[in-house]
Amino acid sequence: MTVRVDVAPRVLEWAIERSRRDPAELERRHPKLSEWTRGERRPTLTQLTEFARATRTPVGYLLLAEPPDEEVPLADFRTLEDEAIEQPSADLLDTIALVEQRQAWYRGFARSMGEPPVPWPGVASTEDSPRVVAEQMR
């Protein structure tokens, strides 16, 4: 039995935009994609899973009524031609999540080995001179 899934067209468009993949390439890989985004047809669960993999989007996000508001969990100073980058890429979000997992693992490992907390995180602010902060860290 084929299981079709209700997916909000706006969420599909958001996933395409978020992935920064070529829409024409995604259309080749998923021939019914334009019908899905127009709300004329619903993807099967298998098709939706493959689309999620191609756009590097968690499947659960595709089941939401509206696209989620993804925020970068740290200061993002990147720009493109002096304009702030509004939507973080899937690659950036995946990288940040991986680094956070590794930090959490190392924090737990260091504590289990009796290491004292590192004294300098959080002592500097964006108001401080980068040269002075670098010297303090050194």
Span 14-41, pLDDT tens digits = 999 999 899 999 999 999 999 999 999 9
Mean pLDDT score of the chain: 89
Higher pLDDT, 72 or 109: 109
* Residue 118: pLDDT band with limits 50, 70, 90: confident
84 and 48 Cβ atoms separated by less than 8 Å: no
* Residue 77: pLDDT band with limits 50, 70, 90: confident
In this structure, are strands 83-84 and 79-80 parallel, antiparallel, or unpaired? Answer: antiparallel
For residues 31-55, average pLDDT: 95
Say if residue 69's pLDDT is above 90.
no
> At residue 19, what is the residue type?
S
Higher pLDDT, 128 or 136: 128
**What does residue 4 show for φ and ψ, rounded to 5 degrees?**
-100, 145
- C-alpha distances (whole Å) from 114 to each of 14, 38, 108, 109, 111 are 46, 58, 10, 9, 5
